[in-house]
Amino acid sequence: MADKRVGIMGGTFDPIHLAHLRLAKCAYEQYDLKTVVFLPAGDPPHKTDHLVAPAYRRLEMLKLCIRDYPQFQISEYELEKQGYSYTAETLEYFTQVYPEMEFYFIIGADSLFELDSWYAPERCLAKATFLVGNRLGRSEEEIDRQIQYLTQRYGGIIEKVNMPGMEISSSDIRELLSKGQDASHYLHPAVNEYIKQNHLYYQGPVENLTMIVKKRLPAGRFLHTLGVVETAQNLASKYGADVDKAKVASLLHDIAKPLSVDELIAVCEKGGEPVTEEELAGVKVLHAKAGAIMARDEFHVADKEILDAIRYHTTGRPGMSLLEKIIFIADFIEPGRSKAPNLDRIRKEAGLDLNRCVCMIARDTLQYLRESGAHVDSRTEETYEYYKSITNLHL
């Protein structure tokens, strides 16, 4: 019997939380299901704000949440289908494609009380047994009455899933996160981490970053920063890097630039990374290290790749990540730059080969520093040697 019983759990999963997971587990155990298929809904057709995560993010979170449960799986059917999906049509599709299976559609008690207003409830109930989880705030009698009403009106079978009540909803979680508050009690740890890393639902400093950066930088520096943002985002989408991370890294890359030397030193010390002798000698590059520390401590950026992209945006380093290379290059070639001698060739190279482009920038930077008698940072030399050796570039 059990090998025919398939549970389906629909929803936007924005984000998936522990009550979803618990309901799926209880339904799986109590109804002897072969599997539970999570069926995330597609994006709504109207424009969404950033309090709603796009489909690919919701899917990533689902994957993270169920990866330890081999009895659960995901169907991307509604994500791939164009337009709004009605449950009736989705269930008819599944029963048509898998006629040998018995379907159990799993819903929370809140959906039980909305079912009346769904599109064609009788068609939904004809194709699957509905399993309803309880929730705090609804009495058993109320739920029983509603089940009786619905089955008398539309036919079909609705059964209850026993589970400890959990008063959580995705919208409550979004609300908490939007204020920068902790929602980790309600989320799988990997999902919680993913939300933090990608600044989902958050309306705090990072979402308002452009305005904050504008206030913090002198006008010319802010214009340069916007140029770096634009260039970095273009490079990120061209080379398959994370565009959102490129935006955060580029917006913050020069955040420490307006600080005096004493202030830069203080930032580094407070961040637990005192300034070295060499950094003091070549104080021009210190804003990159201080910027990474400020991004971490002041702007709560936890992503190491973003922090490293800020930290090495001036000197580069051997073996840079894709994002590091993008920020390093974008800083040099953004549209507002005009003085460097080989800018045209370097801009062209950025569209062809990032390693060669990094090599050319490091070479020109070294040449400029030597000619102007400025301190030459050993890391810029290492960057040049490394990228020269891996690209076989003889300039």
Residues that bind Fe ion (CB under 5 A): 254, 331
Q: In this complex, which beta carbon is closest to Fe ion, that of residue 43 or of residue 254?
A: 254
Question: What distance in Å separates the CA atoms of residue 320 and residue 304, rounded to the nearest whole number?
Answer: 12
Smallest separation, CB 233 to Fe ion (Å): 15
Phi-psi region of 201 (alpha: psi -120 to 50; beta: other; left: phi over 0): left
Query: What is the greatest pairwise CA distance in the chain?
Result: 89
Q: In this complex, which beta carbon is closest to Fe ion, that of residue 254 or of residue 308?
A: 254
Closest alpha carbon to 14 in 134, 325, 48, 70: 48
Helix (H, G, I), strand (E, B) or coil at 1: coil
Smallest separation, CB 199 to Fe ion (Å): 22
What lies within 8 Å, CB to CB, of 68 at 6+ separation is none
The answer to whether residues 384 and 357 touch, using CB atoms and an 8 Å cutoff, is: no
Smallest separation, CB 258 to Fe ion (Å): 11
Question: What distance in Å separates the CA atoms of residue 99 and residue 92, rounded to the nearest whole number?
Answer: 10
Closest alpha carbon to 142 in 118, 112, 164: 112
Q: In this complex, which beta carbon is closest to Fe ion, that of residue 188 or of residue 247?
A: 247
Q: In this complex, which beta carbon is closest to Fe ion, that of residue 15 or of residue 316?
A: 316
Q: In this complex, which beta carbon is closest to Fe ion, that of residue 244 or of residue 331?
A: 331
The tokens describing 203, both together, are 């309306």
The answer to whether residues 50 and 207 touch, using CB atoms and an 8 Å cutoff, is: yes
Residue type, 247: K
Q: In this complex, which beta carbon is closest to Fe ion, that of residue 198 or of residue 315?
A: 315
Q: In this complex, which beta carbon is closest to Fe ion, that of residue 331 or of residue 377?
A: 331
Helix (H, G, I), strand (E, B) or coil at 294: helix
Q: In this complex, which beta carbon is closest to Fe ion, that of residue 271 or of residue 336?
A: 336
Torsion of the alpha carbons at 272, 273, 277 and 278, rounded to the nearest 10: -170
Smallest separation, CB 256 to Fe ion (Å): 9
Smallest separation, CB 37 to Fe ion (Å): 48
Smallest separation, CB 254 to Fe ion (Å): 4
Q: Is the peptide bond before 15 cis (omega within 30 degrees of 0)?
A: yes
The answer to whether residues 76 and 41 touch, using CB atoms and an 8 Å cutoff, is: no
The answer to whether residues 141 and 109 touch, using CB atoms and an 8 Å cutoff, is: no
